[in-house]
Amino acid sequence: MPNNNIDKQVPISSLPRHIAIIMDGNGRWAQRRGLPRSAGHKAGADAVERIVRACVELEIPVLTVYAFSTENWKRPAAEVSLLMQLLLEYLQRKVKIMATENIKICFLGERDNLPEKVKTAIERTEVYTQENTGLIFNIALNYGGQQEILHGVKEVAAAVAAGECALAGINQAFFAQHLYTKGLPEVDLMIRTSGEQRISNFLLWQMAYAELYFTETYWPDFDKEALLAAITAYGNRERRLGGLK
């Protein structure tokens, strides 16, 4: 039985199987305190840790967080390298602990143009946790939804050209096997913090029928209670999926 205090409001059967989070507002959180943006990103890393733990406690099967988008390269080089550095530190400090909690960590996104150190760290992390059977914790890094779909299209086109599959056999389920999230359920609940109400190129395919939840809370302030509020709101939505009530 998941260790949570929402089972009175939300039946376990309506817990989301896959939660995706656009962790936004680190910079504004810092600015509001008269701190440099870097302080917001550091506080944001602590929030990630809290939410991962909460998802383990709630027995959420899949959590995907947006750590760095393909568009985030437009930021000043110093901020980009700080974000990469923070990710490396986070992995250094937390991977062993997460592994003992049976968490499987995966990275979604294009790896080629990441710094070598980051590439090595993410490969090691994936290998180290790949046999774990608890929470699947996806970190979207150098990730873009449009790029992911194009990547899948190219793989499928190459398979068709090589005669490995027939055009007629390509359906949604087949195509989904060519995305970074292959084998995972689609997103049930998408949370975006900081008051912005847009998707920003996140999981475009996987969010086709996600319930969207927007909160004014800046990411560094997002905690278990805030997560429970989102899950409760999700539990109260009527998901018709195109059908009737």
Interface residue with ligand IPE, options 61, 170, 200, 228 (CB under 6 A):
200
Query: Choosing among ligand IPE, Mg ion, none, which partner's interface includes residue 83 (Cβ < 5 to 8 Å by kind)?
Result: ligand IPE
Q: Where are the alpha helices (DSSP H) in 59-183?
A: 77-100, 116-129, 145-161, 172-176
Quote the least distance from Cβ 25 to ligand IPE, whole Å.
Answer: 4
Task: Give dist(CA 132, CA 62) in Å, integer.
Answer: 13
Task: Give dist(CA 94, CA 46) in Å, integer.
Answer: 11
Query: Does the active-site annotation cover 24?
Result: yes
| Strand runs labelled E in the chain | 18-22, 62-69, 104-108, 136-143, 189-192, 211-214
Residue nearest to ligand IPE (CB): 27
Interface with ligand IPE, residue 203, by CB under 6 A = no
Which residues have CB under 8 Å from 205's CB, separation 6+?
Answer: 145, 148, 149, 176, 179
Task: Give dist(CA 177, CA 65) in Å, integer.
Answer: 20
Catalytic-labelled residue, pool 4, 24, 26, 142:
24
Query: Does the active-site annotation cover 171?
Result: no
CB atoms within 10 A of CB 138: 25
Interface residue with Mg ion, options 24, 148, 186, 188 (CB under 5 A):
24
Which residue lies nearer to Mg ion by CB, 28 or 50? 28
Interface with Mg ion, residue 186, by CB under 5 A = no
What tokens does 79 get? Answer: 């901020």
Which residue lies nearer to ligand IPE by CB, 69 or 206? 69
Map the footprint of ligand IPE across residues 33-72, applying CB under 6 A: 66-69, 72
Task: Give dist(CA 225, CA 223) in Å, integer.
Answer: 5
Interface with ligand IPE, residue 26, by CB under 6 A = yes
Interface with ligand IPE, residue 145, by CB under 6 A = no
Map the footprint of ligand IPE across residues 78-117, applying CB under 6 A: 83
Site string for ligand IPE, 152-191 (x = CB under 6 A): ----------------------------------------
Number of amino acids touching Mg ion (CB under 5 A): 1
What tokens does 207 get? Answer: 């969010």
Which value, in Å, is the radius of gyration of the alpha carbons in the chain?
18
Residues marked active site are found at 24, 72
Query: In the complex, which residues of this chain contact Mg ion (CB under 5 A)?
Result: 24
| Residues that bind ligand IPE in the complex, under the rule CB under 6 A | 22-28, 66-69, 72, 83, 194, 196, 198, 200
